[in-house]
Structure 1
């Protein structure tokens, strides 16, 4: 099953993002974006791809062990940007201020997955929250993104193992397992 490890967002943070986009006419400024459904918003910590039932059990154990070593920590969301860059945008994201706790959590997840030989995407970790995927050509003025300033913060209290089913209407994410810190 296609899976990933993530931080889920509270319903109030998801609603704040939705409200900001609506109130600032963000969709008007960016045509050609396939917007992420707000109930699907999350912060990906590790994309696992296709994993077996046995590997799901192993990942659950890895997350249990990691949860014992971590306490809740705050995350700050701030600003907008594009991957890979303004000139060739593929993804519209909200930024996440780098915090030592988040980086340590990511390192611990990677180490746990490596220890048990669980495949995951090893691209460098750049903390962000994807809110849209872009089909070229995107019509926008880069300076618009620079003027938008979304800010919010929340407390991360748990991590999730999620299943991703790709359907014609878009992906459907199912929580397979979650574990609270401490």
Structure 2
């Protein structure tokens, strides 16, 4: 289960067009299907079915105290490092001077609220990004970064947090993300 910001259709389409033209730069990557793109705020690995509503309520409570945030998909990066990359991603920026600080505060608030209801969110520093692809083996990513770092998508106003339940793919299939609630920033929850 996870809580995330989903880019709106114009930002999504712009990034998809940019990525499609560059997919062959690193052919051994396993590309994340575009319909699964999101900017994670909190990831909870194991949430029992009987706690899902509690997590939704916690995310909604955390979201209500935050105003919408202007965001933009911009720049590229890799985890863990350019010389041993395993994950390639698109960065998140904000036109507002305090936009990324507000996004980080939202992520922290969602994590804390989820922890209070026993969801055990993953911790660590928050680095807003949208995962584009993964590699089974570490690779040298400098060429990939040069090809992708120039992207600067359209700005949008992130005004909601979507709560997803992740279903494991069958066999070697990809996971399926089911949106179960949309929590408006500064407002109340709408269940999906």
Instruction: Measure how far apart 1:72 and its partner are.
Output: 1.0
RMSD: 1.7
Instruction: Measure how far apart 1:141 and its partner are.
Output: 5.7
What's the TM-score once normalised by structure 1's chain length? 0.89
- How far apart, in 2, do the equivalents of 1:141 and 1:42 lie? 22
Structure 1 counterpart of 2:189: none
Following superposition, which runs of at least 4 residues in structure 1 exceed 6 angstroms of deviation?
none
SS at match of 1:150: coil
Of 3, 6, 27, the residue aligned with 1:5 is 3
Structure 1 counterpart of 2:190: none
**Contact 1:32 / 1:137 at 8 angstroms: preserved in 2?**
no
Matched, 1:95 2:91: yes
SS at match of 1:87: helix
Instruction: Measure how far apart 1:169 and its partner are.
Output: 3.1
What's the TM-score once normalised by structure 2's chain length? 0.85
- How far apart, in 1, do the equivalents of 2:63 and 2:122 lie? 21
Gaps of 5+ in 1: none
Gaps of 5+ in 2: 94-98, 187-192
Which piece of structure 1 moves more, 45-54 or 110-119?
A: 110-119
- How far apart, in 2, do the equivalents of 1:141 and 1:85 lie? 8
Matched, 1:22 2:20: yes
Aligned residues: 177
Instruction: Measure how far apart 1:147 and its partner are.
Output: 4.6
